[in-house]
Amino acid sequence: MPRTLRGLVALTCAAATLATGVPPAGAGGDVDAFRGLGTWVDVYDYVPELQTEGDPPDVKVDSIDDMAALGIRTLYLQAAQDDDRIAGATVDRKLLGKWLERAHDHDIDVVAWYLPKLDDVKDDLRRIKALRNFRSGGQRFDGIALDIEYTQAVPDPATRSQALARVTRRARDAVDDRPLGAIVLEPLLLEEVNPDYWPGFPWKKIRDDFDVWLPMSYWTNRDEASGYRDGFAYTKENIRRVRKRVGDADAPVHAIGGIADTAETADYIGFIKAAERRDAIGHSIYDFDTTTSAVWTRLRDR
């Protein structure tokens, strides 16, 4: 959908909100940026300061031209990172601006994501607010997402869950009208594969803070004996459980699959089928750098 038409859709949704008093989707309203085919780029793929031995980044601004040709609708770009090698609250602003503007030139939405470590709520909020405030050429990010998986900084699960709830509540207030996504560990991992990873994950406490859920259904991390190394079964069940855990059978879900360089062709077919069966609003494979050219045809066909 061209950006101008998306703007008209957003205005229509806003009018509906005024008429009914109820936002059309989640606390932040429109989730259009999370729909359709997406791709992922993390800081280790495109930020020069984080490359080893001075190597050039694997993914460059010019890669966005390829994304457009592949039919990608949304770029999920890690735009901030708690790392001493990154001086500011975001990655280099000039570099980030080039990515944002090039993507928008191709009518590709950009969702900026960040991994909160949860040991310093104020510091996490500082980076989230920097993503909200970021502008380049008068343009801003189309959505913001939090990658909720880091456990090392706060070892106690109960304390970590409390910190997460504080971060997400304040993030919700901070991003204003921007849609906020929750990139979450898949329920099958938390409940069956490794229940000790994050026991008591606070689904209900954070559910009102997010507009869309993005479970990381990485079936490639499972072994054959578990029965979960299957793109269809793993994705379908994780989407079902996310909606059940947040108590909303119609919760918007963007399915993330992968990891790309260890997935089989049949897995991609199953992944797409599961996303369709569960009415996911979007789908993507982690990540752009490791997804082969032949796979994009299958991902586009949904």
Q: Which of 5-14, 111-120, 205-214, 254-263 has the lowest mean pLDDT?
A: 5-14
Q: What is the average per-residue pLDDT within 129-149?
A: 98
Q: CA-CA distance, 238 to 219, in Å (whole number)? A: 10
- Residue 25: pLDDT band (50, 70, 90) is very low
| 156-209 per-position pLDDT tens digit | 999 999 999 999 999 999 998 999 999 999 999 999 999 999 999 999 999 999
Query: Can you say whether residue 53 is alpha, beta or left, with left for phi > 0 and alpha for psi between -120 and 50 degrees?
Result: left
pLDDT in tens, 248-282: 999 999 999 999 999 998 899 999 999 999 999 99
Q: pLDDT tier at 11 (50, 70, 90 boundaries)?
A: very low
pLDDT of residue 54: 81
Domain, as residue range, for 281? 3-300
pLDDT value of position 176: 87
CATH number, domain at 181?
A: 3.20.20.80
Predicted confidence (pLDDT) at residue 289 exceeds the cutoff of 70? yes
Residue 213's contacts (CB-CB under 8 Å, 6 or more residues apart) are 181, 182, 184, 242, 243, 246, 251, 252, 253, 254
Q: What is the pLDDT of residue 18?
A: 34
Backbone angles phi, psi at 258, to 5 degrees: 135, -170
Task: Decide which of 94 and 302 is more confident.
Answer: 94
Q: Which residue has the higher pLDDT, 225 or 242?
A: 242
pLDDT at 3: 54
Long-range contacts of 126-132 (CB under 8 A, 24+ apart): 126/89, 127/80, 127/82, 127/89, 127/90, 128/80, 128/167, 128/170, 128/171, 128/174, 128/175, 129/89, 129/174, 130/80, 130/88, 130/89, 130/90, 131/79, 131/80, 131/90, 132/174, 132/175, 132/176, 132/178
As to burial, measured by CB atoms within 10 angstroms (0-12 exposed, 13-18 middle, 19+ buried), residue 293 is exposed
Quote the CA–CA distance of 211 and 28 in Å, as a whole number: 6
Tokens 């229509």 locate to: 12
Whether residue 96 is predicted with pLDDT greater than 60 in this model: the reply is: yes
What are the angstrom distances between the C-alpha of 56 and each of 44, 60, 99, 287, 289? 11, 9, 16, 18, 14
The total domain count for the chain is: 1
Of 151-155, 213-217, 295-299, the poorest mean pLDDT is in 295-299
Confidence of residue 28 (pLDDT cuts 50, 70, 90): low
